[in-house]
Each structure stands twice: as C-alpha cells, then as structure tokens.
Amino acid sequence: MKKSYIGLCCALLASASAVQAADLSLALALGTDYWNPTPSGTVNDAGAHYDDQSQWTFWADLRHGIPLLPNVNLQRTTYDTNGLGVNNDLEAWDLALYYRLFDNDLFGIGGGLDLRQYNGSWFGKDYDELEPLAYLQAEANIPGTSLSVFGDARGAAWDGNHSHDYRVGMALEFVPKFHLRGGYRNVRLDDNVDGVKLTQNMDGWFAGAEYRF
C-alpha cells in the first residue's frame, strides 16, 4: 500500500550518500516540546470534535560524518484526545534515518526515511501500526544573532489517504549549546481500521528546549 514511498525514500538515501562528507565528528541533540493543539477528526467522514489536550514530544538527534551511514533522529510524541464520548490514547515513535544534503555554518538541509510506530487506541479500536514516511528537515542561522529558524516534515500518501506531521519555528541560543524554541505544528493522521475510515487533525503552537552536546 505504501511501497512507493519506501522506494522513493530509499532512492533519496542512496543518492544523498554519495555527497556525505568524510568528517568523523559526532553531534548529539536532546530536546522536548510542549504542545497544546486544537484537535478534530472524522469517523467515516462524520465529524468529531474534542477538547484541547496537552501533548509532549521528546527527541534525540545524532549526526556524524561517517560516509554511507545515515544520521539518526528518534522521537516520541503523544496524540491523546478526548471529548464527546471519544477517548483516544495514542502515541507514536519515529525513527528517521537521513542524510545531510547541505551542511555549513549558515544552513543545513537533510532528507531520508522515517519509520513511525503507532501504539494505543484510536476511536475505541486498538491501533498498532508501522507506517513509512518521507522525512525532511532544515535549519538556518540568522547572521549576527543568536537566532535560527528550523522546520521538519514527515508525510506519506496512499490509496486516497494521507498523513503528515510538520512544524516550523524559531530557536534562541539562550546560553551556549542550550536553545529555547517555539513555533507551529500541524498533524494529520489518516487510515482505515477494520473497515472504518479514521481521520484526526491537530494543530497549534508549541514551545520547548534543546541541548546540543
């Protein structure tokens, strides 16, 4: 169902590996975001609305310069929602394997394959799904300041459905290696579960922090 996306992402990984620099330095970033989105959704195209609920994202990002080997981003996000008799208890683990296509002191761009594992319950149904997604990320420093802008996106489309998860924001290096960050995030989860078409949309502002070793 989603094999075309796996092939596309693998082709991106293979082509990007050819330009990976032979710099053996390591860089690790750890971070968390607090997110209070406004959720909505549909069950077989019938609308469902929920109360706003706090969500958390935690991640670790490891970059290196070993040729041919991808960098790694591991992320955990909660997508819990409730309201009008609906109680969704859902989380996702993302494992992104990516290459930096451009990387210098001013800006960087990366891309690759994300494997997302859902766990929990969705509209009263057990939901345990592994989903391959395309992965893109970028950041740019603002010269002469301690500010930077960033963005990342995960997404796929198949059989008339699509899912995406993207965020854009700005970060401030508050003290060396420690960044305060904030921005906007938009998520759509779309799938068929036991013959029932389920869609969940969540969007809103987030704030967080990141430490880079």
CATH of the domain at 100: 2.40.160.20
Q: Per-residue pLDDT for 45 more than 90?
A: no
Q: Give me the domain span that covers residue 187.
A: 3-212
C-alpha to C-alpha distances, 213 to 146, 164, 210, nearest whole angstrom: 17, 29, 10
| pLDDT one-digit tens code per residue, 103-158 | 888 999 999 999 999 999 877 778 898 999 999 999 999 999 999 999 999 999 87
pLDDT of residue 85: 66
Which tops the pLDDT comparison, 137 or 13? Answer: 137
Percent with pLDDT over 70 in the chain? 86
The secondary structure of the chain, three-state, reads CCHHHHHHHHHHHHHHHCCCCCCCCEEEEEEEEEECCEEEEEECCEEEECECCCEEEEEEEEEECCCCCCEEEEEEEECCEEECCEEEEEEEEEEEEEEEEEECCCEEEEEEEEEEEEEEEECCEECCEEEEEEEEEEEEECCCCCEEEEEEEEEEEECCEEEEEEEEEEEEEEECCEEEEEEEEEEEEEEEECCEEEEEEEEEEEEEEEEEC
Report the domain count for the chain.
Answer: 1
**pLDDT in the model for residue 164:** 95
Instruction: Say what the pTM is.
Output: 0.83
Quote the CA–CA distance of 38 and 56 in Å, as a whole number. 14
Q: How confident is the model at residue 5 (pLDDT cuts 50, 70, 90)?
A: very low
Residue 178 in this model has a pLDDT that exceeds 70 = yes
Of the ranges 46-50, 64-68, 79-83, 147-151, the best mean pLDDT one: 147-151
Task: Name 204's bridge partners.
Answer: 185
